Amino acid sequence: MESPSEPQCRALSPWWGLLITASILSCWIQPTSAQVTVVPNPPYGEVNHNVTLDIQGFSGQALFYIWYRKAVVETNKIARYTVETGVQEPADIREKVLPNGSLLIPHLTLNDSDSYHVLIVDSQGNIIVAQGHLTVYGPLSKPFISSTNMAPVENMDNVSLTCQAEGQDVTYQWFINQSSPAGDRTVLSPDNRTLTIINVTREDQGPYKCEIRNPVSFNESEFTLNIIYGPDTPRIFPTTLNYPVGATIELNCSAESNPPAQFTWLNNGIQMASSSKLSIANVSLNHTGIYTCKASNSVTGLSSSKDINITVSERTTKPNLTANRTNVIENDTLAFTCGTKQAGVDILWLINNKSLNLSERMKLSMNNRTLTILSVKREDSASYQCEIRNPISSSRSDPFALIVNYGPDYIKVVPNPKKGEIEVKFKDSLILACHVESYPPAQYIWQVNGTVNSNMTTNIYFIQNVIWKDSGKYTCLAKNTVTNLSVSRDITIKVLGSNGSSLSGGVITGIVIGVLAGIILIGTLIYIQFFRKTKRVSKHQLSENHSARKHGEDNTLYENIGQLPGSALPAQQVLDISREDIYDKTLPWKKPEA
Ligand SMILES: *[C@@H]1O[C@H](CO)[C@@H](O)[C@H](O)[C@H]1NC(C)=O
Ligand SMILES: *[C@@H]1O[C@H](CO)[C@@H](O)[C@H](O)[C@H]1NC(C)=O
Ligand SMILES: *[C@@H]1O[C@H](CO)[C@@H](O)[C@H](O)[C@H]1NC(C)=O
Ligand SMILES: *[C@@H]1O[C@H](CO)[C@@H](O)[C@H](O)[C@H]1NC(C)=O
Ligand SMILES: *[C@@H]1O[C@H](CO)[C@@H](O)[C@H](O)[C@H]1NC(C)=O
Ligand SMILES: *[C@@H]1O[C@H](CO)[C@@H](O)[C@H](O)[C@H]1NC(C)=O
Ligand SMILES: *[C@@H]1O[C@H](CO)[C@@H](O)[C@H](O)[C@H]1NC(C)=O
Ligand SMILES: *[C@@H]1O[C@H](CO)[C@@H](O)[C@H](O)[C@H]1NC(C)=O
Ligand SMILES: *[C@@H]1O[C@H](CO)[C@@H](O)[C@H](O)[C@H]1NC(C)=O
Ligand SMILES: *[C@@H]1O[C@H](CO)[C@@H](O)[C@H](O)[C@H]1NC(C)=O
Ligand SMILES: *[C@@H]1O[C@H](CO)[C@@H](O)[C@H](O)[C@H]1NC(C)=O
Ligand SMILES: *[C@@H]1O[C@H](CO)[C@@H](O)[C@H](O)[C@H]1NC(C)=O
């Protein structure tokens, strides 16, 4: 009866005998029946839910629907449904055949997973058999994560995490910190169940999440790795290295480590404490030393340590600045000593509150304790201080006011004598001012014609109304009682008649000379008129003529002035010299013009 070209009937052939007993008479060729299938709706059964097994692809008029499980055999029959009567046999079962032939299975259990077959007899007497598979899935319980190493050691161990789930058709997915595993050191097994981390580091702690799914359910578990690491090099806090005597030293030590490190403190190799904290109250100088924090990891058996060099110092006290000379005279060699009994201090020197720039004439001893000034100069007069410093404090000595005694030198007479001579008119007043540089200020003695005039005790020699016999040799003598040096200058005063004539010899020759003097006066007046504008220039030139002279040789210089050209200027003009010229310490002498 079966046709070799008809797969439908061929499929039926094993059960043909049974079909006979089921009063099925014939197998008709049904070209369309190849597409008739049983399709679960929803596609997957879920425990405790319902499913409808729909017949799809059947378009005929059915007389009967007979449902089987596993195979179309009588013993596997679930129910027979007669369309005309709408009667299901047996009726008192869980499964219900619906009028359109679908099989409704309520309250699914995992055991309902199976293949289901339906045999349809249509109004033409055709027999169509269709089948489909129902899989019932239960809810997934949390997967169990197992690890190959519960305490992997950093940079040494590999760890494999395996996710174990119950149920079928479970798919696995791993997440590390919410993202998929990536990188060279993570490897997934082909079934995605096992995640291997190669050569773990402390950052690989996780959490690791395994997600499992089947078509109807989902669950997940997390796992955190307990990675053993450290101890890393300890850190010591605070990092203060210097403490004053009497302070309390409190040092805290920490080190990255799992499990947490155990700490010991050592001072110069001797154990001081067996905790992370070291506290020493009221420290003394002998607490200076190397302190070591040692951290150990009991699991790895490793340890690492860190040193801190602590220095305990006394607070500095004011040093005592002394000089090896009290009465300092220019060109002396002077040594300052910064007196302190404290060790381990740096010494600095200050001049007028600013740090000292060593000049060529200054030398510091090896430890800066002594400042030597070779050939002290007047400009070295200043306030000197020394300062001692250690890491915790600094102290300055009282200022030492250095006074350098010098001079007298740079003697100058105003008005400036020309050829050693000053001319003054009869009845005019004469003011001679003598200037020197000196400390302490010089004492002045005036001599006239070699005789001391004890009325004149300052640097000024003054005559109200000059008379003829006031002419003569005047000497300014300046004396410094500390340096015991003195300097003098001679000036020849010439008294001129009111018409300008010099009557030093008396009135006798006056008339004769007066005539000559008159001529000279006229000449002089012309000279004055003519050179008034160039007065300063002339003076300048004069200065230049004297420039090559050394100040120290002033007396010689004075002698030479008379022989120099341009020195015949009238006294009046010389008196015009500004006060700046008088006090200019560098003196206006310049090089003679070629
Ligand atoms: C058959 O009937 C049931 C209930 O009315 C319905 O859920 C199902 O979709 C129907 N099947 C087909 C193939 O139409
Ligand atoms: C995961 O499984 C546990 C029992 O192991 C269950 O209580 C929980 O509801 C499940 N979670 C989900 C999302 O199904
Ligand atoms: C593990 O990693 C560390 C650095 O991360 C490396 O020094 C070490 O050689 C690695 N060990 C192995 C077995 O790959
Ligand atoms: C870790 O895994 C790597 C790569 O598979 C392997 O070469 C290495 O020997 C493993 N190390 C240990 C300690 O098992
Ligand atoms: C494993 O996971 C990857 C990516 O998540 C996926 O493409 C692959 O199909 C999975 N393999 C298995 C056997 O589930
Ligand atoms: C996971 O995230 C935490 C915090 O963001 C981080 O400390 C840890 O290193 C991360 N772990 C991995 C394996 O990326
Ligand atoms: C600190 O130590 C010194 C001696 O080192 C002692 O004289 C002083 O009394 C101590 N001070 C305190 C507060 O303990
Ligand atoms: C440090 O000095 C104190 C006195 O200042 C003394 O009591 C103590 O024994 C000394 N410690 C050491 C280690 O020398
Ligand atoms: C601590 O002192 C020792 C010897 O005095 C020296 O060798 C070492 O370099 C010092 N360490 C630091 C961090 O200064
Ligand atoms: C110091 O020396 C200079 C040059 O050698 C000299 O001119 C000056 O007079 C000296 N001063 C004293 C006060 O001796
Ligand atoms: C002061 O010390 C310096 C340098 O040692 C020395 O040359 C000088 O003679 C000393 N002066 C006195 C007065 O001792
Ligand atoms: C100084 O001596 C001269 C001549 O020797 C004389 O003419 C003059 O009057 C004397 N001057 C005084 C102030 O004694």
Strand residues in 32-125 grouped as ranges (E): 37-41, 45-46, 51-56, 62-69, 77-82, 87-89, 96-97, 103-105, 114-122
Q: Whose CA is nearest to atom 1 of ligand 1?
A: 100
Identity of the residue numbered 394: S
pLDDT at 39: 96
Q: Whose CA is nearest to atom 11 of ligand 2?
A: 219
Cα 581 to ligand 10 centroid, rounded to whole Å: 23
What is the position in ligand 9's atom list of the atom closest to the CA of 241?
A: 14
pLDDT at 337: 96
pLDDT tens-digit profile of 301-346?
A: 999 999 999 999 999 999 999 999 999 999 999 999 999 999 889 9
Strand residues in 380-534 grouped as ranges (E): 382-390, 393-396, 400-402, 404-414, 421-425, 430-439, 443-448, 451-452, 460-463, 472-480, 485-496
With a cut of 70, list the residues of the chain below it in pLDDT: 1-34, 499-594
Report in angstroms the alpha-carbon separations of 337 from 188, 363, 400, 418. Answer: 80, 12, 11, 51
pLDDT at 425: 93
Cα 178 to ligand 6 centroid, rounded to whole Å: 10
Which ligand lies nearest to the CA atom of residue 286 in the structure?
8
Ligand 2 environment, Cβ below 6 A: 139, 141-142, 217-219
Walk me through the domains of the chain, giving residue ranges and CATH numbers.
Answer: 7-137 (2.60.40.10), 144-223 (2.60.40.10), 235-313 (2.60.40.10), 320-402 (2.60.40.10), 405-496 (2.60.40.10), 507-585 (no CATH)
Which ligand lies nearest to the CA atom of residue 137 in the structure?
2
Candidate of 184, 187, 199, 232 to mutate for ligand 3, largest count of ligand atoms within 8 Å of Cβ: 199
Radius of gyration over every alpha carbon of the chain, rounded to an integer in angstroms: 63
Ligand 1 environment, Cβ below 6 A: 52, 54-56, 98, 100, 102
pLDDT at 302: 93
What is the position in ligand 12's atom list of the atom closest to the CA of 449?
A: 1
Q: Whose CA is nearest to atom 9 of ligand 4?
A: 158
What is the position in ligand 5's atom list of the atom closest to the CA of 171?
A: 14
Instruction: Tell me: cis bond preceding 570? Omega within 30 of 0 counts.
Output: no
